[in-house]
Every structure is written in structure tokens, then in C-alpha cells.
Amino acid sequence: MRIDRYLANAGVGTRREVHRYIMDKRVMVNGNTIKSISLNINPIIDRVSFDEEPVIYKEFRYFLINKPVGYMSSTIEERYPPVTSLIPQADVFRLFPVGRLDVDTTGTLLLTNNGKLAHSLLNPRFHVEKVYDAVVDRPLSTKLIDDFQKGLNINDEYVTSPAGLEIIDDYHARVSIHEGKYHQIKRMFIACGYNVISLNRSQFAFLDCTGLKEGEYRELNPEEVNKLLLFLR
């Protein structure tokens, strides 16, 4: 692996920054200062240091954010800033969100640079559970529990898979789904004659945002990463 990629993946800096660090003779491989940004190293065997501190290499990174309203879960800047702009390391690690939350949806969002895992987590065949707390515009009827369980035709002839709905109080419901169609929760409620006023994803697989205020993020711990990797197919 090229040293510049290795250092960027390890979080030392962007590719451009690590090129500068190499030019400035701040990087050593096996005790020798290096001068080439294209030097190939073996991440398992070679010892790399930056400013005389050993570099700990991780190819993949996993972050959890409590997404606030007003951010897009897309890496392309459009009308709203991308959620990645809230995580300073996002560029260096090339993080992208696993799935989408609408700009007005808050809550649990995983970001990673592990494309294979993201693909597995988003594949409806693997039944990753997502739980949403919805506030609706009129009192909820218990009939919805059945309707959500049976599946709903959400506009484009797509019938949703069985979903769990728990009525918390007149206007609050908790919905559990295992797929992720565009605006799925809002469209399921619309199919039953309700509008969603606000939506928060409280859980994605086993992950939730306990301890994170809106806009706050953290890197997953090794135990969580191992649990997440069980979804890899």
C-alpha cells in the first residue's frame, strides 16, 4: 500500500496534507525518514511513525452521529450542508452515510468508509432493523397497527414489508421496519391518511444515540465494530 494512502487512512491527514508531511521529513518507516509519497509499505510488517509517534493503522472507520434537522445525509453539497460537514475527520477517512435520512429527520446515522459493509446493512434481505419515532398530525387509531403489519401500498405500487407500529400516545408512534424506501415512514403514514410532523430515528441495527446530543458524534468502539461486522455478507 502506498504510504500516502496508509497515512490518510490512519487519520494523519488528507492525502495533500500527508504529502506535505513527507516533504517536511516528518514521516519515518522502520526508523528511516522517507522522501517519496509513493513508497509502498506493508501495513502489517512495517513500522510507521509521524513526528516520532507510532501510527496506528485502521483501514475502516465507523462513526455514529445524532443527525440534526437541516443537514443532508448525502456527500454532495446541495441546498443544505452535508451531515459529513459536522465530522471534521469525514474527509480524511472518506466517510459516507449508510443510507439516508431526510433533511428534516433527526437521529441515529452510521457513517463509514467500508462500502461492503454499508451494502450489506442496506440490503433488505439482511433485515437490519430501523426504529423511528414519529409525531403525526391527528390522533392515532389502533387500526394502524394492523395496516402497518399487513403492508401498505406507498404510492408507486410498492407494498411495504410487515412493519411494527406501537402507539405511544395519541400523536406519537414508534415504527420498526427492515427496509428503507425513499420517505418510507412518511409515505406509510400518508397511505393511512396521516401526515408526519416530525421524525427521529431512534435505532439503526443495535446502535442508538444514547449520550449524543443532536449534532454530536463519536467513533464506534471495537466491540460495536465487531458486532457490526457480523452483518457483512
HSE of 206, CA atoms in CB hemisphere, 13 A = 10
Q: Please state the closest distance from residue 211 (CB atom) to ligand URA, in A.
A: 22
Question: Applying CB under 6 A, which of residues 12, 72, 186, 194 lies at the interface with ligand URA?
Answer: 186
Q: How far apart are CA 19 and CA 31, in angstroms?
A: 19
Does residue 214 bind ligand URA (CB under 6 A)?
no
Helix segments in the chain, DSSP class H:
3-9, 15-23, 90-93, 115-122, 143-150, 184-191, 222-229
Closer to ligand URA by CB, 66 or 184: give it. 184
Within 67-106, the residues that bind ligand URA by CB under 6 A are 101-102, 105
Q: Please state the closest distance from residue 183 (CB atom) to ligand URA, in A.
A: 4
C-alpha distances (whole Å) from 200 to each of 23, 65, 112, 162, 221 are 47, 13, 21, 20, 23
Q: Please state the closest distance from residue 175 (CB atom) to ligand URA, in A.
A: 9
Question: Applying CB under 6 A, which of residues 48, 163, 199, 209 lies at the interface with ligand URA?
Answer: 199
Grid coordinates representing 69 are 434537522
Query: At which residue does the C-alpha cell 511513525 appear?
Result: 49
Q: x/- binding map, residues 10-39, to ligand URA, per CB under 6 A?
A: ------------------------------
Closer to ligand URA by CB, 1 or 190: give it. 190
108: CB partners within 8 A, 6+ apart: 64, 66, 67, 201, 202, 203, 204, 207, 208, 209
Q: Please state the closest distance from residue 225 (CB atom) to ligand URA, in A.
A: 24
HSE of 228, CA atoms in CB hemisphere, 13 A = 26
> Is 91 known to be catalytic?
no
The residue from 46, 91, 102, 104 that is catalytic is 102
Residues identified as active-site: 102
- Residues of this chain that bind ligand URA (CB under 6 A): 101-102, 105, 183-186, 199
